[in-house]
Amino acid sequence: MINITCNNIWVHKKISNLLYQKGLNIIDNENKNFFLNINIDDREDSVLLISREKSYKFIKPIDFMEIYSKIILIILDVEFNFNHLTYFPFRNLILNEKNKINLGEKHNLIFSYLLINQQAGISKFNLYKKIWPEDVDMQINKLDTHLTNLKKFLKTELDYDLNVKSQKNILKLTIN
């Protein structure tokens, strides 16, 4: 759920593909919801990597691993604060003043998609496909079970009530 923008289409495609191969969830449409936007400014003799709070300059030629390591530094700092919780989506970590928990991969994906789609909500179908893209036979009860387990886990470990409403198969996270 990282949006990459770049002034050079070829560089954009190459870097996005390499980041995707490294397991980062890259989106290619600025109209979608995302946690972080990273702008890549390709210049004649250098490349600038710019995010909300950090920027890095690389002199050409560039080793991809240099860019990758800086992107990792950027994404590990992404956090969201709400209802006395701090959520680090790229660390799978949620903490409050008393405790911290690590979310499993599926729970982190569910929580992430609910959070970035809290305005309009997300359909159960779309969420299911994002969590289990390889499933041939869709079983929405599998999603419902994981969501219930996530709610129980947050309540037990952080004393936090995850408020998710479902109306016409649209899930919507409510944050007070």
Mean pLDDT of 37-54: 94
Do 168 and 139 share a structural domain? yes
pLDDT at residue 27 greater than cutoff 80:
no
Residues 8 and 41 in one domain: yes
State residue 53's pLDDT score: 84
Assess whether 53 and 87 both reside in one domain. Answer: no
Same domain, 88 and 110: yes
- One domain for residues 109 and 155: yes
- The yes-or-no verdict on residue 30 having pLDDT over 70 is no
Same domain, 17 and 43: yes
- Domain boundary (37, 55, 76) is at 76
Instruction: Select from 21, 56, 76 the last residue of a domain.
Output: 76
Q: Is the pLDDT of residue 31 over 80?
A: no
Number of structural domains in the chain: 2
Last residue of a domain, one of 28, 50, 76: 76
Domain identity same for 86 and 167: yes
What is residue 152's predicted lDDT score, i.e. its pLDDT? Answer: 98
99: pLDDT confidence band, cut at 50, 70 and 90?
very high
* CATH code at position 128: 1.10.10.10
pLDDT > 70? residue 29: no
pLDDT band of residue 6 (cuts 50, 70, 90) is very high
pLDDT of residue 12: 92
Based on the domain organization, do 62 and 129 belong to the same domain? no
118 and 157 fall within a common domain? yes
3-class secondary structure for the chain? CEEEEECCHHHHHHHHHHHHHCCCCEECCCCCCCCEEEEEEECCCEEEEECCCCEEEEECCCCHHHHHHHHHHHHHCCCEEECCEEEECCCCEEECCCCEEECCHHHHHHHHHHHHCCCCCEEHHHHHHHHCCCCCCCCHHHHHHHHHHHHHHHHHHHCCCCCEEEECCEEEECCC
Instruction: Provide the pLDDT confidence category of residue 50 given band limits of 50, 70 and 90.
Output: very high
- Per-residue pLDDT band for 26 (boundaries 50, 70, 90) equals confident
Residue scoring higher pLDDT (74 or 25): 74
pLDDT of residue 1: 82
Q: What is the pLDDT of residues 107-145, one digit of tens each?
A: 999 999 999 999 999 999 999 999 999 998 999 999 999
Residues 127 and 61 occupy one common structural domain? no
Residues 68 and 87 in one domain: no
Residues 62 and 131 in one domain: no
Domain, as residue range, for 99: 80-173
